[in-house]
Structure 1
Amino acid sequence: MATAPVTQRTGGTRAQLPPCYYEGYLEKRGAKEKVSRRLWTCLCGNTLFFFNNAKDSHYVEKLDLSAFVSLIDDGSRDRNLEAARMNLRMKDGEIKLTAPNLEARELWKGFIYSVVDLSVPTTLTLLPGQVHVLKEVVEKERQRRRAARSLARAPASPLSVPLVGEIPACFRPVSRTEAEVLLERHPDCGNMLLRPGRDGSSLAVTTRQDLNGSVFRHYRVTQKLQGGYIIDVENPQIPCPTLYDVINALVEKTAGTLQPFLLEEPYEENI
């Protein structure tokens, strides 16, 4: 059977990922892999993100569940008698996963099916409290998808150049003024967002800090002809390979004072 495509790359920080619904260690093995790897796995939105360990801030692989077919138990014995295997089947391949025990396997199945189907599965052995949590996850995922659709429809300053790589979750297709309004209205959601620039050929980062009142700053982000981006914050300018690196550079430069703006509510209700 073909191997389901798993994106392998050093991804963005956890703060830039969609909301995490469930996480824990899983052993993962694709059809072309000879041995399983024990990876810290996070179900964020409808994507599985894999980290080398629980403390890592950057994921090493991810698996989009939009091509999900099924997740079924695998009754074969593991060297760890408490471990519980399962087969994650995608439209273009299969991945073998192993949970530490039967309860963990049942929970992984519950969370994954809830996110994929947007309904709580009724065939699993779950406690009432676990069912309640899954109902909350279904509602959060519905809201997240509505927000994503709203963002896609939202009016924006057009970009005349294609963006390179993945777009961070803190990107908002808003104007300079709308960016300030969002940051002012939702201070608990972060204080830095990425947006289109005024000229349509660049991007900009808008930040807000509370210094006896709101202080906004705007930094131009220019795409280089040879690839990557440059942040116009100082001389020399800061080069970054991807937009994720743009956000990470500003977080690190300010020792965490600036944090990506992540708003889970529908966009249209907030502007």
Structure 2
Amino acid sequence: MAAAPVKQRSGPGGPRAQLPPCYYEGYLEKRGPKEKVSRRLWTCLCGNTLFFFNNAKDTHYVEKLDLSGFVSLKDDCSRDRNLEAARLILRMRDGETKLTAPNLESRELWKGFLYSVVDLNVPGCLTLLPGQVQMLREVVDKERSRRRATRTPTRAPPSPLSLPLLGEIPPCFRPVSRTEAEVMLERHPDCGNMLLRPGRDGSSLAVTTRQDLNGSVFRHYRVTQREQGGYVIDVENPIPCATLHDVIDALVEKTAGTLQPFLLEEPYEENITYVSANDENGERILHCAPSSPLPKAPALPPKQGTPNPALHSHTHIHARKHPNCSASPGVPERWPSKPLPRSPAPDRRILSVTSPVPSSPTNPMRRLILSPSPLAHTLNEELKLKLEKRRTSQE
């Protein structure tokens, strides 16, 4: 579904030209918290405010709804006389406003624009077309630029760096105003109910808390720095604290754990996305990068001279399986602890005939087997002498 065209219907200097830039517009049925019936009004989202006109040609709005008090936005599944209509419940700090869009697609697009302006981020939980998502990104950029241009030093919340803070800043510190702190605590009740923020005067800090008692109950406590060092919670009986962490711990302890620091986990993307233009029509489309793992690099061959681990493991296993081997701490079980019984050494020349020895003349094993040992030569000489003496005696 294409978005409604954004047009300024008044000339330069007219009432419509004095409004913030219009991001989206169309007919909506509106029923406020004090209204009994709904009215069909031309609705324009200009900046972070909804302006309502009697019709699309009017230049003077009849109502406006500032979204700075935004709390939540949810679908209303109750039936309408128009079966194609889709309802919304816009919850603000001062009550609920019910809006009815012409159809489901229009409702999703209104939700996308409202979330983008309030959170300054494109929502990822809505079913939108790639062109609509790109349009919301442009709206977020325009709204950020508009707020930077219209922000004044008196209205802007002080930066935490402008305060001479001592020690580490607690994670529940948020550089927001009093109103923004209340909205943040009410929108995220599961993340804690106490946050630390800059004070309104710019020279102190404040703690904002939220509790439920037939509705939201907010409390604000001033925290000032002492000249001699440290901080103090300015209540009827001041509570001195050495650091800002001690300030938070003191409030948790005084309330028996009812107050808990506000810790909001920022969402992160689960997939890598990028925008590219279509070659045929030039339309920019959001793509999702493939999530398959990268191919592994081939393993390098072992360097020359590096011992073969398979050979060492084979030798070690073979030595460990030998029945006459004993284990010694830190020494591989390769050699037997006791000498094995020797068998009579056969004639090396006989072994040279039966054993498959390579015929290379440079093989040291060949030289060792073909040449008889000195001990064998001596035994042969003694055996010859004994045989000659026996032959002589017999004769």
Q: Residue 134 of structure 1 aligns with which residue?
A: 136
Equivalent residue in structure 1 for 2:150, among 130, 148, 151: 148
Structure 2 runs not aligned, ≥5 long = 1-13, 156-395
Q: Residue 370 of structure 2 aligns with which residue?
A: none
CA distance in 1, matches of 2:60, 2:147: 23
Q: Residue 29 of structure 2 aligns with which residue?
A: 27
Q: Deviations over 1:187-233 (max 9, x none)?
A: xxxxxxxxxxxxxxxxxxxxxxxxxxxxxxxxxxxxxxxxxxxxxxx
Q: Deviations over 1:147-183 (max 9, x none)?
A: 0115869xxxxxxxxxxxxxxxxxxxxxxxxxxxxxx
Matches within 5 A, 1:1-271: 13-149=15-151
RMSD: 1.4
CA distance in 2, matches of 1:107, 1:13: 26
CA distance in 2, matches of 1:105, 1:121: 14
1:78 maps to amino acid: D
Q: CA deviation at 1:116?
A: 0.3
The 3-state SS of whatever aligns with 1:104 is: helix
Q: Deviations over 1:50-70 (max 9, x none)?
A: 000000011010000000011
Larger radius of gyration: 2
The 3-state SS of whatever aligns with 1:55 is: coil
Q: Deviations over 1:9-64 (max 9, x none)?
A: xxx71111000000000000023211100000000000000000000011010000
Q: Deviations over 1:97-118 (max 9, x none)?
A: 0000001100000000000000
The 3-state SS of whatever aligns with 1:76 is: coil
Structure 1 runs not aligned, ≥5 long = 1-11, 154-271
2:109 maps to amino acid: L
CA distance in 2, matches of 1:52, 1:82: 22
- Greater relative contact order: 1 or 2 (C-alpha under 8 angstroms, separation 6 or more)? 1
Q: What TM-score results when the alignment is normalised by the length of structure 2? A: 0.35
CA distance in 2, matches of 1:132, 1:150: 30
The 3-state SS of whatever aligns with 2:35 is: coil
CA distance in 2, matches of 1:143, 1:76: 38
CA distance in 1, matches of 2:56, 2:154: 33
The 3-state SS of whatever aligns with 1:144 is: helix
The 3-state SS of whatever aligns with 1:87 is: strand
Paired residue total:
142
The 3-state SS of whatever aligns with 1:115 is: helix
Q: CA deviation at 1:73?
A: 0.4
1:107 maps to amino acid: L
More strand by share: 1
CA distance in 1, matches of 2:50, 2:41: 11
2:97 maps to amino acid: I
1:50 maps to amino acid: F
The 3-state SS of whatever aligns with 2:59 is: coil
CA distance in 2, matches of 1:55, 1:152: 37
CA gap 1:14/1:152 in 2 versus in 1, 3 angstroms: farther
CA distance in 2, matches of 1:92, 1:23: 24
CA distance in 1, matches of 2:104, 2:138: 23
CA distance in 1, matches of 2:72, 2:28: 17
CA distance in 2, matches of 1:151, 1:99: 39
